[in-house]
Amino acid sequence: MRIVSGIQPTGEIHIGNYLGAIKQWISLQEENECIFFIADLHALTVPYNPKELQDKIIEKLVCYVAAGINPEKSIIFVQSKVKEHAELCWLLNTLCPVGELTRMTQYKDKSKKFKDNINAGLLDYPVLMAADILLYKGQAVPVGKDQEQHVELTRTIARKFNQTFGQTFEEPKELFPKSGAKIMSLTDPKKKMSKSDDPKSYISLFDSPENITKKIMSAETDSGKEVIYNVTKKPGISNLLTIYSLLADKPIKDIEKEFKSKGYGDFKKSLAKVLIDYLEPFRRKQKELQTRDVYVKEILEKGASRAKTIAETTMQEVNEKMGLI
Ligand code: ADP
Ligand code: TRP
């Protein structure tokens, strides 16, 4: 299968991004043709600092590789370096009803959050994402639950293109992990963990052991003291149990048993240790890659060139079908 996915370069990559998206990428790259990129064009739709953007992009590439994406197997690149993304986005814009865009949950949330900057790019965000996927004729898109609507819209646009101009695109399906598709915030377990929130609300893949312990020990928990999974009554503890279970590779039932006669404190201490141990190799690899600038730039250049070859072929076909040649 051809797999396509991306992450925006803003903020720090957290365990929600890892468990929802990147962990799936790592296992998928073994048997599929994978295309993973850093979605810098998407990141321009909310306020950002242009001076910091390049560093953030390199940070994300380092993060992908440190977490286990293999640049020999997968194509890794920066979205804006393959101009066909923006080109296809424009063409697909002409097929996408505005009504579909105004009903997108992410658009509604972000226009509330950034009231003074409701720009056209924010509205058009999902069409660029459809272009990202269709440009490579992506068949499956490994993402977290929050991206479901956007992949659904990609299918709608693909269908409309096929109906209007003849069969061209397969309708891509989203791939969610069985568990962990929506990791919740540590400070408010009713909200999803997000890069753009307070750092106390997430564990970054490269947080120091001290920070991990601090954040987990002060994570919002629920009344009572039993460590049991119950999303409605105990959203905080249930979220921590999900993280524990995925990282320690143990069923939630077994963890509940282990902490049956212990309280939240013991459970949290143990979870902090699980996180510290799991993320230790990531921190080590990150440090090593930070000293290898040339290697990192080479990965991106090679990735962009491989991506461009596929992108040009699709654009040739799309241009012809749309009457531009
Ligand atoms: P954020 O929302 O934290 O800024 P992005 O929008 O860049 O992150 O998302 C990158 C990837 O991580 C997407 O596939 C998204 O679905 C996934 N993702 C984001 N937040 C979470 C979460 N809390 N739990 C699971 N997956 C998530
Ligand atoms: N919109 C995605 C997010 O915020 C990032 C993204 C951009 C993406 N283009 C994509 C994900 C294409 C999958 C496929 O997380």
Could you tell me if 259 and 128 lie in one domain? Answer: no
Could you tell me if 314 and 247 lie in one domain? Answer: no
pLDDT at 215 over 90: yes
CA 157 – CA 175 distance, rounded (Å): 19
Q: Scanning the structure block, which residue is given the tokens 């720009």?
A: 119
Could you tell me if 302 and 225 lie in one domain? Answer: no
CA 94 – CA 89 distance, rounded (Å): 9
Greatest Cα pair distance in the chain: 72
What positions carry a catalytic annotation? 110, 192, 195
The reply to whether ligand 2 has any atom less than 6 angstroms from the CB of 130 is no
The reply to whether ligand 1 has any atom less than 6 angstroms from the CB of 147 is yes
**Cα 122 from chain centroid (whole Å):** 17
Could you tell me if 147 and 87 lie in one domain? Answer: yes
pLDDT at 222 over 90: no
Average pLDDT rounded to a whole number, residues 81-96: 98
What ligand 2 atom has the least distance to the C-alpha of 144?
15
Who wins on pLDDT, 283 or 222? 283
Which residues are registered as beta bridge partners of 5? 36
Phi, psi for residue 225 in degrees, rounded to 5? -135, 10
Instruction: Tell me the pLDDT tens digit for each residue of 300-316.
Output: 999 999 999 999 999 99
pLDDT at 325 over 90: no
CA distances from 85 to 39, 132, 317 (A): 10, 6, 15
Could you tell me if 276 and 309 lie in one domain? Answer: no
pLDDT interval class at 49 (50, 70, 90): very high
Report the percent of the chain where pLDDT is more than 90. Answer: 97
Could you tell me if 298 and 282 lie in one domain? Answer: no
Domain count, the chain: 2
Compute the chain's Rg from CA coordinates. 21
What's the pTM?
A: 0.94
CATH number (domain holding residue 108):
3.40.50.620
Ligand 2 centre to CA of 161 (Å) is 21
Could you tell me if 100 and 240 lie in one domain? Answer: no
Q: Torsion angle, CA of 109/115/117/120, rounded to 10 degrees?
A: 50
| In 119-236, beta strands by DSSP E | 140-142, 173-175
Write down the pLDDT at residue 58.
96
Tokens linked to 132: 């990202």
The protein residue with its alpha carbon nearest to ligand 2, atom 9, reads 129
Could you tell me if 165 and 255 lie in one domain? Answer: no
Could you tell me if 253 and 298 lie in one domain? Answer: no
Write down the pLDDT at residue 196.
86
The reply to whether ligand 1 has any atom less than 6 angstroms from the CB of 149 is no
Residue 71 belongs to domain spanning:
2-181+293-321
